[in-house]
Amino acid sequence: MFDVDGKRKEIAAFEEKMAAEGFWNDQKAAQEIISESNKLKRVVNGLTEFKAKFEDSKAMEELLEEEGVDENSEEAVELQQSAELLKVALDELEIQSYLKGPHDHCNAILSVNAGAGGTESCDWAEMLFRMYTRWAERREFKTEIIDILPGEEAGLSKVTLRIEGTNAYGYANAERGVHRLVRISPFDSNARRHTSFCAVDVVAEIEDDIEIEIEDKDLREDTYRASGKGGQHVNKTDSAVRLTHSPTGIVAACQTERSQHKNRATAMKMLKARIYEKREDEKRSELEKVYGEKGEIGWGNQIRSYVFQPYQMVKDLRTGVDTGNVQGVMDGDIDKFINAWLRAGSPRQRNKDIQIED
Q: Tens of pLDDT along 133-182?
A: 999 999 999 999 999 999 888 999 999 999 999 899 999 999 999 999 99
Residues 174 and 275 in one domain: yes
Q: How many CA within 13 A on the CB side of residue 295? A: 7
Percent of residues, the chain, with pLDDT higher than 70: 86
Are 227 and 150 contacting, i.e. CB atoms less than 8 angstroms apart? yes
3-class DSSP assignment, residue 9: helix
End-to-end CA distance of the chain: 13
Local mean pLDDT, 10-residue blocks, the chain (358 residues) = 76 89 86 79 80 79 75 75 80 82 89 88 96 97 93 92 93 95 86 90 79 86 74 61 93 90 90 85 54 50 91 96 97 96 68 35
Domain of residue 82, CATH code: 1.20.58.410
Residues 74 and 152 in one domain: no
Residue 88: per-residue pLDDT: 78
**What contacts 270, CB < 8 A, 6 or more positions away?**
109, 146, 160, 203, 252, 253, 254
Residues 177 and 278 in one domain: yes
Rounded to the nearest 5 percent, the helix, strand and coil shares of the chain are: 45, 20, 35
Our count of domains for the chain comes to 2
Residues 83 and 121 in one domain: no
Of 97, 126, 145, the residue that ends a domain is 97
What is the pTM (predicted TM-score) of this model? 0.71
Distance (Å, whole) CA 117 – CA 314 = 19
351 lies in some domain: no
Residues 121 and 267 in one domain: yes
